[in-house]
Copies of this chain bind each other. A is one copy, B any other.
Amino acid sequence: MSDQRTLDLDDVDDLALGAVVLGTGGGGDPYVAKIMLREAIEKHGPITLVNAEDLDPDGLILPVAMVGAPTVIVEKFPNGHEAHTVLRAMEQQRGARGIAVMPIEVGGMNTLFPIAVAAELGLPCVDADGMRRAFPQIEMTLLTLAGISASPMTLSDVKGNYVYFEAKDNQTGEKLVRACVAQMGMLAVMSAYPITAKQCAQHAVNGSLSYCLEIGRRVRAIQEGGPDAYQELLDFCEAQILFTGKILDIERRTTAGWARGTVTLEHLSDPARAMRVEIQNENLVAFEDGEAIATVPDLITLIDVETGVPMTTEGLSFGQRLHVIAMPAHPRWITPDGLALAGPRAFGYDIDYAPLGGAS
């Protein structure tokens, strides 16, 4: 990519691969988002990727995301009007036209969706997001940590229902949006965190789309059988393979709007070793011998040993051989307020954050 970078058709598959890695099992399969992005590029041409710091500091950035159940989103994809509705409403509320679109999260389909929206609107996409991974709740962003309000938030569904929120805090905003999405057939498009380019440059994770794309390229190299490909991925992400095993058991349950589950793996070379990965939409904690060896907000990603395919939770199957890869979260998450917002206790686990150790 040059300084004036663009995303074109050749980047779509790599972006999607990176998005699954950063989605840590959640965030949904970007398959449909890939189709949507390809169509948008074929129709509107490559999307310009910009750095927030190169934009007019007072310019309005338009974050956008799908909200709902990933399984539903894959079946009932937004038709395009929703994003138009929520972003135009946001512009009207702010009294300004947006100068760029931005992903709120850079994991799962919400990585590709905002890029397609940018193409539709003829706007560039900011090379940034709010977390450098996927999280299931709207308030779990570095923007919240910076004291930036998620409100006003705008929400629209495929039927044209529209809701506008001004919540006093981002947790309440999450609850109100989630409650409405449940009445919208578990799928809606949201804009939130309207920020200026200056705020984006200061407080978002800048470079996260490039980061996602680079991860995707390295995963593709693994799939193409490059000899040092795994090591290059691990080096790039400062990641480590925690465990390599086959799935002995998958327990899935849906409770209170969460896709919860537990995946148990037996080590391929030492059957006495077992790993348990706890899931709430995303892979959140990896236990070995009852000890948490990797925890949220660090990223726990499962990659198929044979195919090099990074796995969403829905795609896991009994007997599958997987590398359990842990990669460090953005350093701003590994702070007291970051861990309070998105550490293990924020998800109801009665354990402390476990810093990632050396490579296993």
B168 contacts A176, CB within 8 Å?
Answer: no
B165 contacts A160, CB within 8 Å?
Answer: no
Interchain CB contact (< 8 A) of A163 among B161, B163, B182:
B163
| Cα–Cα distance between A184 and B179 once the two chains are bound (Å) | 11
| Cα–Cα distance between A274 and B253 once the two chains are bound (Å) | 47
B172 contacts A162, CB within 8 Å?
Answer: no
State which size class the interface on A falls in. 10 to 19
Task: Indicate if A32 sits at the interface (CB-CB under 8 A).
Answer: no
Chain A interface, DSSP helix/strand/loop, else mixed: mixed
CB nearest neighbor in B for A153: B163
Instruction: Specify which chain B residues have a CB less than 8 angstroms from the CB of A175 in the assembled complex.
Output: 183
Interchain CB contact (< 8 A) of A168 among B161, B168, B172, B180:
B161
A166 contacts B161, CB within 8 Å?
Answer: yes
Task: Indicate if A164 sits at the interface (CB-CB under 8 A).
Answer: yes
Task: Indicate if A167 sits at the interface (CB-CB under 8 A).
Answer: yes
A176 contacts B165, CB within 8 Å?
Answer: no
Task: Indicate if A43 sits at the interface (CB-CB under 8 A).
Answer: no
Instruction: Specify which chain B residues have a CB less than 8 angstroms from the CB of A159 in the assembled complex.
Output: 168, 172
**Interface residues, chain A, CB within 8 Å of chain B?**
159-168, 172, 175-176, 179-180, 182-184
12 sample A-B contacts, Cβ–Cβ < 8 Å, listed by A number: A160-B168, A161-B165, A162-B166, A163-B164, A163-B165, A163-B166, A163-B176, A164-B165, A172-B183, A175-B183, A176-B180, A179-B180
